[in-house]
Structure 1
Amino acid sequence: MLEKDLYQPIKDYFIKNGYLVRGEVEDCDVIAVKDEVITVVELKKNLTVKLLTQAVKRQKIGDQVYMAIPKPKGFRYSRSWNDTVHLIRRLELGLLFVSFKGEEKHVEVVIEPKVFNRKRSQVMNKKRRARLINEVKERHEDFNIGGTTGVKLVTAYKEKAIHIACCLNRFETLTTKELRELGTDQAKTTRILYNNHYSWFEKVGRGVYQLSETGKKELKDYATIAKYYNQIIDEAIKSSP
C-alpha cells in the first residue's frame, strides 16, 4: 500500500461531509475547506513520531489537523494504545483510520482534533496526583535509580516493611508496640504485619511477630536499605530510656 492509496477514501469522506477538497496544497497532503475553516490531513502508512511532528507543523496554517493511516491489522485497545491516544489529544490532533476490504473503503474517525483541557485532565486524575505526592513524602530516602528496568522497586510501603523486617531480624520476636518504639511507622506497622503482603512475617503470639524464612532470604536483596534502617534502629536504642 502507498500513501496515495489513502487519498481517495479521505477525499470522499470529507466531500460527503460538505467540504471542498484538494490534494497537495502548500506541502499539505489534503486540504478540506468548509465555511472558511481549513482542515489539513496528513497521509502516512504508519503512526510515527515523524508524522506527529509533521501534523503539529500543519497546525500553523490549519484550523484542525488530522493524521490518516491504514487501520492496523489485528488492532486492539491496550494500555500502550491509550497512552498514544492521550498524546494525540494532548497535541490537539485528530486521527483517521482507513480500512480496505476488497473494493470497499471505510474511513473511521478515531480521535477528533479538539482543544486539550489540561486543568480538566488534572481534576480527573486528582486522586492519582494525591497518591503521587503522598508516595514521595512517605519515602524516607531515594533508594531507586530513575530509568532502570528489571529491578525491584522500593516503594514507601516496602520501605516500612523492610524497617520492620530489620527489627525482627535483629531481635527475633517483637510486639507491635516494641516495633513502633524502634521507629517503625506509628500508624501502619500493625496493618503491614497483618496484611503480610510479601509473606515476610509470622505471628507467634498475640501481637507478637517474627521474621519468616522468606523474609530472612529476601531481606538480603535489600542490603543497602537494611543498612540504613539498622542505623535508625541503633539510634532508637540509644535514645530509649
Structure 2
Amino acid sequence: MRAPKPKETDLYLPVKTLLEGQGYTVKGEIGAADIVAVRGDEDPVVVELKTGFSLSLFHQGIERQAITDQVYIAVPRGTGRAFLKAIAANTSLCRRLGLGLMTVRLKDGLVEVHADPAPYRPRKSNIKKARLLKEFARRTGDPNSGGATRQGLMTAYRQDALRCARILAELGPTKAALVAKASGVDRARALMADNHYGWFERVATGIYGLCDKGSEALVFHGDPDSPAEIADPGDTPN
C-alpha cells in the first residue's frame, strides 16, 4: 500500500521541537507565516512549510524576508537520487536568495538544516570566466541565435574543424602540418585525430582525408570565415 501523502501540518511539530530546543518560543499560523519563533530581543525566525519544492514556496520565503532576515523553508525529506539532486540544487538556490532550508524525515521527525539564512556572496570562478572569454575570442562572427538549443551550435571548435575540412576538400588527403598551416588552425592534427564529428579519416601516418560526412558538413555550414546570417535554431546541423 502506498504511503499517505504528507501534509504541511506533519512538518510542524518536528520543526517546532527543533526550535524550542534552541530556546525559542514557537507558535503556528501567525499572520501569513506558517511558523514564527521568538527568542529574547532577536529577530524572529519564520519557517514556511510545504510538501515539496515549488516556485510558490520560494515566493513565500522571499515575501517573509520583508518581516525578518531569518526565514527558512521546510519540506519533507525524500529518498533516492532524484531527491538528493533536488536538495543540492535547491540548497544552492536558497543560499542565493538568502533563505534557510530544512528537511523533515517524517518517520522519526528528524530535522536537517541544509542552509541557514545569510547574505549571498557569490564565488567567482576564474577558470570558467577564462573559458568563456576564450571561446568568445576564438568564435568567428556571431553564427548562433541566443537561446537556441545547445545541439549543433557553431562553436569555435566546430569552426576550426570546418577550416580543416575545407583544406582537405581542396587538396585531398594532406599532411596534418600542411593542413594546420593552410587553415590557420594550430590544433589541426589533434582535431582531425580526435575526429569528434566523424568528418575525417587517417589515410596514412600524419595524413588525413575528408569523409562524406565532412563534405556534407561543408555544404551545410558553408565557410566559417565568410559573413553569414545567424543559423535558424530549428536547423539540425550534422
Give the Cα–Cα distance (whole angstroms) in 1 for the partners of residues 59 and 215 of structure 2: 52
Show the counterpart of 1:237. none
1:12 and 2:8 equivalent? no
Task: Using the TM superposition, give the Cα deviation of residue 95 of structure 1 relative to its aligned residue in structure 2, in angstroms.
Answer: 1.0
Check whether the contact 2:180–2:189 (CA below 8 A) recurs between aligned residues: no
TM-score by length of 1: 0.80
The one-letter code sitting in structure 2 at the alignment partner of 1:30 is I
Show the counterpart of 1:188. 187
Within a 5 Å distance, the mapping from 1:154-233 to structure 2 comes to: 154-185=154-185, 187-205=186-204, 207-217=206-216, 219=217, 223=220, 225-229=221-225, 231=226
Give the Cα–Cα distance (whole angstroms) in 2 for the partners of residues 15 and 184 of structure 1: 69
How many residue pairs were aligned?
220
The percentage of aligned residue pairs carrying the same residue is: 33
Within a 5 Å distance, the mapping from 1:1-241 to structure 2 comes to: 1-35=6-40, 36-74=42-80, 76-78=83-85, 81-101=87-107, 104-118=108-122, 121-122=123-124, 125-149=125-149, 151-185=151-185, 187-205=186-204, 207-217=206-216, 219=217, 223=220, 225-229=221-225, 231=226
TM-score by length of 2: 0.81
Q: Residues 228, 153 of structure 1: CA spacing in aligned structure 2 closer, same or farther, 3 A cutoff? A: closer
Q: Residues 89, 48 of structure 1: CA spacing in aligned structure 2 closer, same or farther, 3 A cutoff? A: same
Q: Residues 199, 228 of structure 1: CA spacing in aligned structure 2 closer, same or farther, 3 A cutoff? A: closer
Task: Using the TM superposition, give the Cα deviation of residue 207 of structure 1 relative to its aligned residue in structure 2, in angstroms.
Answer: 3.9
Deviation by residue 1:37-96 (Cα, 9 ceiling, x = unmatched): 321101111211111111011112113110011123435433x65333322110011111
Q: Which has the higher contact order (CA 8 A, sep 6+)?
A: 2
Give the Cα–Cα distance (whole angstroms) in 1 for the partners of residues 88 and 148 of structure 2: 23
Give the Cα–Cα distance (whole angstroms) in 2 for the partners of residues 228 and 2 of structure 1: 58
Alignment RMSD: 2.4
- Runs of 5+ consecutive residues of structure 2 not aligned to the other structure: 1-5, 228-238
Check whether the contact 1:166–1:226 (CA below 8 A) recurs between aligned residues: no
Pick the structure with more helix per residue. Answer: 1
Give the Cα–Cα distance (whole angstroms) in 2 for the partners of residues 83 and 134 of structure 1: 28
The list of structure 1 runs, each at least 4 consecutive aligned residues, that deviate by more than 6 angstroms after superposition, is none
- Runs of 5+ consecutive residues of structure 1 not aligned to the other structure: 233-241
